[in-house]
A and B are shown apart, each in its own frame.
Chain A
Amino acid sequence: MNTQTGQLDDKVTDQYPDEKGHFGIYGGSFIAETLMDPVRELQAEYEKYRLDNEFIAEFEWELKNFVGRPNPLYHAKRWSDELGGAQIYLKREDLNHTGAHKINNTVGQALLARRMGKKRIIAETGAGQHGVATATVCARFGMECIVYMGAEDIQRQAPNVFRMKLLGATVVPVESGSRTLKDALNEAMRDWVGNVDDTFYIIGTAAGPHPYPTMVRDFNSVIGKEIRDQSMEHTGRLPDAVIACVGGGSNAIGAFHPFLDDAEVALYGVEAGGDGIETGRHAAPLTAGKPGVLHGNRTYLMEDDAGQIIETHSVSAGLDYPGVGPEHSWLKDIGRVQYDVATDAEALDATHKLCRLEGIIPALESAHALAYAIKLAPTWSKDKNIVVNLSGRGDKDINTLATLEGMTL
């Protein structure tokens, strides 16, 4: 994309990443030497299986029979009518097994781990959704599962902690740093360094050293591919816009990637605005951060003037992360995707709207994308179609919602 003219000079998707996983200046492999060889092995194996028909067929079989895909693209008619503008369609990732898009990626990575002969799986989790999705596939494939989770998040997300344990996983509390998702990621990396021979690290978002950002995107691209097909079925054309929330960016890149070369489809990524960008209490690196290096890649980060990573704030634990996948950083810089924020208050308002008008309880993460649709839809005419990626269901958030209303369950 030419940033001056806004024209696509070439297919965006042909331009990156390069063979070392760079998206422009972003991405790459910023890791300790001990991990270089295992990461190279992973790159080589992924490169091989990515194009392997048998592997692809196996992945698709699992998505259909275990995850329950394809999930619907649902016309939220009452909500669209109330907003009085563009038609809103919801991509129902919330109907997947385990209740979010996260399982698309964990199925893919677990199948790869199995092909690579790795029996010990580690993962990090914030909200617990990725932890649950990882514990689920480990149970399904008979693998040992260790999930690192910040001590703070363990308290906030008790039901998911119990779910992981039910599924046979070991949940390890992380007491270092801010005791949240970024620290869980640090601890998982430390585990990996010490156990490189038998361990596969299933990263839960489209970040980390190459090939993770590309691999996680590819496994989640089923979202965007289904949106394409289903949009054609429903409306006879591609949607005019796709909106997704951005934490580390896996559901968003999965929804966006199949549309990157279609300049007529506007793409919007919505970060967690927390208490508002101006308060500094948010989790919006693309909107208010700057490029730096963390967790294996160069990308936009929330950091202080001395390059220390700062604490984030969001009502949704799954968006509470100071970094973002490197492809999003690139897409921001070239202008192909517009990034904006929704505050905690806007996300909560959108949550209640969807509950009452459509009978769907959205995840608080997904509610950020819904909140953006509330702003965008009324400014567009009724013949325009907007797809919102409903990345997950809100059952995991009922304790948070109840607490906000002064109730304990």
Chain B
Amino acid sequence: MSELKTRRLTTVFQAAAKGEGGRRKLIIPFITAGDPDLATSLDLMHTLVKAGADVIELGIPFSDPMADGPVIQAANERALEKGASLAQIIDLVAQFRQTNKKTPVVLMGYMNPVETMGYETFAQSAGAAGVDGVLTVDLPPEEASDLVTAAHAANLDSIFLLSPTSPDSRIAEVCKHVGGYVYYVSLKGVTGAANLDTDDVARRVSNIKSLSNIPVAVGFGITDASSAVAVASAADAIVVGSALVKLVAQHGSEPETLHNSIYKLLNSMRVALDEHYPA
């Protein structure tokens, strides 16, 4: 096998750790690909980068999004009504890569579309399109070895979740299988839930960091600059999803308002994080 190039996710997380004053905190926005349509998603990806995104998580819509709350469920339904498919979303990333070679893109979704495409076909075409990582929420590492093998062969990072219910023994084990970053789900609940306890998050993220060197991104329940700052104290990166997807739902048919409002929200987080955690 040829020498694999350094993965974009590794580069981005390493660069963030190199600041003189401290660690730069990364922002990972999530949007559902194809909501309200694929062309808008492409424009939004560029807007997210302008607003300060370090990594983009693109949701692959699924008919049965079991781990998502109402906001992202509705986004999945909107995207599917327009017929968005995994193949088209991989193509969307290829289009994004025509002008952006730097920002890592992670595909996040559920297993079945990936199963249906086939692991090899998925990994090879995603890798060729410029996808950097894959996270399927209903795939714990225990069931993942075939997909991980296919992903690695295509130079893709496989990202897994940790949650408040993950015992220490499992945290160490899961981190062994992770590439890029581990995604810590901040609360017991679905996306968009509102029971975020930032002290609890800080404690648990510190615990994860004591068990592994892998960067930790924290998501679920981050809605604005202040929750972003609070969660980022222990984390390397914050993930913001439902708050952005809500704006897509509200302004999907008014492109200018949509881009402005998305920019405004994400950039307010960027500014607040850079202020609180100068690198």
Contacts and interface: CB of A to CB of B under 8 A. Distances in A.
B165 interface: yes
Nearest to B167: A37
Interface in A161-189: 176-177, 182-183, 186, 189
Interface stretch (A125-133, A259-267, A292-300): A292-300
Contacts of B91: none
B66 A37 contact: no
A28 B139 CA distance: 10
A33 B66 contact: no
Interface stretch (A47-55, A218-226, A303-311, A345-353): A303-311
Given A32-B161, A33-B166, A292-B116, A196 B188 contact: yes
Most buried by A among B63, B73, B139, B188: B63
B138 A293 contact: yes
Contact of A293 (B70, B85, B115): B115
A34 B188 contact: yes
A114 interface: no
A29 interface: yes
Interface in B46-105: 62-70, 73, 77, 80, 85-87
Given A33-B161, A177-B64, A194-B188, A308 B113 contact: yes
Interface string A301-333: 101011111100000000000000000000000
Given A37-B166, A186-B65, A194-B189, A30 B111 contact: yes
A36 B170 contact: yes
Contact of A308 (B62, B163, B164): B62
Contact of B138 (A32, A306, A308): A32
B195 to A, nearest CB: 8
Given A29-B143, A32-B138, A193 B190 contact: yes
Given A32-B66, A34-B185, A190-B69, A307 B86 contact: yes
A292 B161 contact: no
A402 B77 CA distance: 35
B62 to A, nearest CB: 7
A307 B116 contact: yes
B166 A36 contact: yes
Contacts of A305: 116
A50 B116 CA distance: 36
Interface string B107-122: 0001111111100000
What bracket does the count of chain B residues touching chain A fall in?
35 or more
Interface residues of A, number: 39
A38 interface: yes
A296 B143 CA distance: 11
Contacts of B162: 33
Given A33-B162, A37-B165, A37-B167, A308 B190 contact: no
A190 B138 CA distance: 12
A299 B50 CA distance: 43
Interface in A1-46: 20, 28-38
Nearest to B160: A33
Given A176-B70, A194-B193, A308-B62, A31 B112 contact: no
A305 B86 CA distance: 11
A193 B65 CA distance: 13
Contacts of A295: 64, 66
Contact of A177 (B77, B85, B170): B77
Given A29-B140, A29-B142, A309 B64 contact: yes
Contact of A194 (B62, B65, B66, B190): B190
Contact of A309 (B63, B117, B161): B63
Contacts of A34: 67, 161, 163-165, 185, 188-189
Contacts of B150: none
Given A33-B163, A190-B67, A308-B63, A301 B112 contact: yes
A149 B70 CA distance: 16
Given A32-B161, A36-B140, A306-B87, 20 more contacts: A29-B140, A30-B111, A32-B67, A32-B137, A32-B138, A33-B163, A34-B163, A34-B165, A34-B188, A36-B163, A36-B166, A190-B69, A194-B189, A196-B188, A292-B115, A301-B112, A306-B113, A307-B86, A307-B116, A309-B63
27 contacts: A32-B67, A32-B185, A33-B162, A33-B185, A34-B161, A35-B165, A36-B165, A37-B166, A37-B170, A186-B64, A186-B65, A189-B66, A190-B67, A190-B69, A194-B190, A194-B193, A197-B188, A292-B112, A292-B116, A293-B111, A293-B115, A294-B112, A295-B64, A303-B112, A307-B113, A308-B63, A309-B63
Interface of A: 20, 28-38, 176-177, 182-183, 186, 189-190, 193-197, 291-296, 298, 301, 303, 305-310
